[in-house]
Amino acid sequence: MTQLDKLHRAVRQQSDPKRARALRGYFKTGKGEYGEGDVFYGLTVPQSRTLAKRFRDLDLASLRNLLSSAVHEERLIALLVLVEQFKAGDESARKKIAEFYLRNLRGVNNWDLVDLSAHKILGEYLLDKPKTILRKLARSGDLWERRVAVLATFRFIDDGRFGESLEMARMLLRDEHDLIHKAVGWMLREVGKRDKAAEVKFLKKYYQRMPRTMLRYAIEKFPKSEQRKYLKK
């Protein structure tokens, strides 16, 4: 039995039908919802992390198999493994993993999968490289690729660089999806936690055009009186 087979078996052995039903609702897997058709076995995140550590040496072919799986937890485990391999890798290994990540974005197709991987793989890799791919992803018709573009910039924010996040925010001001509104608002909030003046400058120019959810997320840490001023205009 291969390591991949052992992982498939371990996921099934730890399945929890009751939790799986709850997760299907939480991640909006119904017809017409953003996670339509996603399959859950009901593993907890700690269980998935434990399996990722156990199978941390899986090769890219096996990880590709997992990322094409219909099972959410298998895709989650694959991404957790990729994050750890990227963290431990040299520049050559990181390049290979980042390119693999971009080629397999079809499997990074729910908000938790994006949020645990985009900044730790793509954002980290792009720190000292051109950001053209982020603009391409931000223009994508695919919801999750647009969210990857936004969340990748979290790594730059941590480095004290806000330009990329603000650029993604400008590009996505008119996006129609609530999950993009939340992601952009979240990144603006993170900018503001480090440099409120930078966020306020952006808000003064764009807040009247921002979707309400985006704005609420962006100003969440502002004093209540300041929040009211933005929300009433």
Fold agreement between 1-108 and 130-233: yes
- Enter the tokens of residue 169: 């925010």
Q: For residue 71, what is the DSSP state? A: B
Q: Alpha-carbon distance 157 to 104, whole Å? A: 25
DSSP 107-169: G--SHHHHHHHIIIIIIHHGGGS--HHHHHHHT-SSHHHHHHHHHHTHHHHHTT--HHHHHHH
Is the pLDDT at 106 greater than 70, yes or no?
yes
∠ at Cα 127 (213, 150), nearest 5°? 15
pTM, two decimal places: 0.96
- Enter the tokens of residue 66: 């997992």
pLDDT tens column, 57-104: 999 999 999 999 999 999 999 999 999 999 999 999 999 999 999 999
Q: What is the pLDDT of residue 14?
A: 97
Q: Which fold has domain 1-108?
A: Leucine-rich Repeat Variant (1.25.10)
Note the CATH architecture for domain 130-233.
Answer: Alpha Horseshoe (1.25)
Domain boundaries, the chain: 1-108, 130-233
Is the pLDDT at 17 greater than 90, yes or no?
yes
How many Cβ atoms from other residues are within 10 Å of residue 8's Cβ?
A: 17
With bands split at pLDDT 50, 70 and 90, how would you rate the model's confidence at 148? very high
Q: What is the pLDDT of residue 233?
A: 66
Is the pLDDT at 56 greater than 70, yes or no?
yes
Q: What is the pLDDT of residue 47?
A: 98
User: What percent helix, strand, coil does the chain show, rounded to 5?
Assistant: 70, 0, 25
pLDDT tens column, 200-212: 999 999 999 999 9
By percentage, how much of the chain surpasses pLDDT 90? Answer: 99
pLDDT tens column, 160-187: 999 999 999 999 999 999 999 999 999 9
pLDDT tens column, 116-136: 999 999 999 999 999 999 999
